[in-house]
Amino acid sequence: MESFLTLPIINRNYSNILHITDTHLFANDQSKLLGIDSNASFQTVIREIENRNSPFDLIVATGDFVQDGSEQAYRLFAEQIQKFNLPCVWLAGNHDNYHDMQEIFADYQLAENKIVLLGNKWLLVLLNSQVVGQAYGFLPQSELEFLQRTLTIHNDRYAFVFLHHHAIESGCHWLDQHILKNKHELEEIIKHQPNIKGVAWGHIHQSLDYIWHGCKAFSTPSTCIQFMPKSYDFKLSYEAPGWREIKLAIDGSIQSKVYRIADNCFQPDMSQNGY
């Protein structure tokens, strides 16, 4: 039986979620990813979120926390997130070491709960799409059954699903080779579960929005490098690092907006053709 996190919502008719993804941090502050200091860009994102002073209830972090596989980089993420003094749930991306994440994030009280009961109306479900050693994603039968079971148990709530890998083609040929390989199985659940009102992911380092069988689906930009939309081959974008804020209303509606850092001094090395 999966443990769940229960968060009361007081004196508001909506819940507010901060979605952060694909930080790609290093142990060494001098290291760069495709020309961008991803440690510095992440910390800039955190400062700008703090300055906005939005009333968040929860942080959801959807993978690719580190680029170099180091424990120190995971600790950097946790130390920055602790500044918000908010619950944070997370799941692994294709670059992550799940075992290290479990041990290190537990030291910082970053919750491993895959079910969040948010107020009286909303259910959040986190799905692990990581395939160890591969860039693409896959939801094993155990994850699909977990989703179905959780939706059944909490059928009086609206549902929002988070995962790392994209479940809808991005339009980038090179990225779509690394999609959720059994996306059709998730799609079948969404088709037949009208309580699912939203699905969100990271992985593709760009912001895209869809209506998917009646629910809202979207990707959130990375806090470091961005990939050029609609590119056949690997190509970087000059768009700024960013994050997404998601409002879940008590009537089941969703409002969402992407924000990016205001003064983008983080320019990628456009000569690079992969990573």
Please indicate, yes or no, if residue 42 is contained in any of the structural domains.
yes
| Number of separate domains in the chain | 1
Threshold 0.85, pTM exceeds: yes
Please indicate, yes or no, if residue 273 is contained in any of the structural domains.
no
DSSP 163-194: -SS-SS--S-HHHHTTSBTTHHHHHHHHHH-T
DSSP 202-261: -SSSS--EEEETTEEEEE---SS-EEPTT-SS--EE-PPPEEEEEEEETTS-EEEEEEE-
Please indicate, yes or no, if residue 275 is contained in any of the structural domains.
no
169: domain CATH number is 3.60.21.10
**Tens of pLDDT along 95-104?**
999 999 999 9
Please indicate, yes or no, if residue 26 is contained in any of the structural domains.
yes
Please indicate, yes or no, if residue 272 is contained in any of the structural domains.
no
pLDDT at 3 (0 to 100): 73
**Tens of pLDDT along 24-34?**
999 998 899 99
Please indicate, yes or no, if residue 267 is contained in any of the structural domains.
no
**Tens of pLDDT along 123-152?**
999 999 999 999 999 999 999 999 999 999
Please indicate, yes or no, if residue 170 is contained in any of the structural domains.
yes
- Structure confidence at residue 66 as a pLDDT band (50, 70, 90): very high
Q: Cα separation of 260 and 45, whole Å? A: 8
Domain of 86?
4-260
Average model confidence (pLDDT) for the chain? 95
Residue 2 has pLDDT above 80, yes or no: no
Q: Cα separation of 260 and 221, whole Å? A: 9
pLDDT at 144 (0 to 100): 98
Please indicate, yes or no, if residue 274 is contained in any of the structural domains.
no
pLDDT at 1 (0 to 100): 53
Residues contacting residue 236 through CB under 8 Å, at least 6 positions apart: 34, 225, 226, 227, 228, 268, 269, 270, 272
